[in-house]
Amino acid sequence: MDLATTVERIQQNFVISDPGLPDCPIVFASDGFLELTGYSREDILGRNCRFLQGPDTDPETVAKLRQAVQQCSEVTVRILNYKKDGSPFWNLLTVAPMADVVGTARFYIGVQVDVTAETGQTVT
C-alpha cells in the first residue's frame, strides 16, 4: 500500500499543506475535512487554509498559528472557523510540522475537530 492510499484511509478531518510552495497551500484534504467544511477538493486544493477564517475569528488565535508555523512547532488552538455555507463552528485545530531528517518542515498537517457542541457557546 502506498502513502497516498494510507493517508486517504485515515478517518480524521485533516489537511496537508506545503510550505515549500508560495502561501503554503493545501495539497491534500481528507474526506472528513470536506464533509466537515462543505468544500470540495476543487474548492480548496492550492489555497491557503485561511479561507476558513471569518469576521469573528480571533486575530490573536490566528497569530498563535502563524507563530508556530514560523517556528516549525506544533500548536493546538480553539478557533472559530466557517464552513462553505457561511455557518461558523468551533474548531479544535492542531497544526504540526512533518519534518525531514534535518528538521526542515516539508509539510504541515492540520487536524480539525468540531467542538461546537462541547463549548457550550452558541455561534451565529
59-77: pLDDT as tens digits:
999 999 999 999 999 999 9
Structural domain of 93: 3-114
pLDDT at 5: 47
Res 9 pLDDT > 80: no
| Grid cell at residue 76 | 493546538
Residue 95, judged by CB atoms within 10 A of its CB (0-12, 13-18, 19+), counts as buried
Question: Is 86 part of a structural domain of the chain?
Answer: yes
Asked if residue 119 is part of any domain, the answer here is no
Question: pLDDT > 70: what percent of the chain?
Answer: 87
Q: What is the mean pLDDT of the chain?
A: 90
Q: Cell numbers 518542515 correspond to what residue? A: 105
Residue 44 included in any domain:
yes
Pairing of strands 88-99, 13-17: unpaired
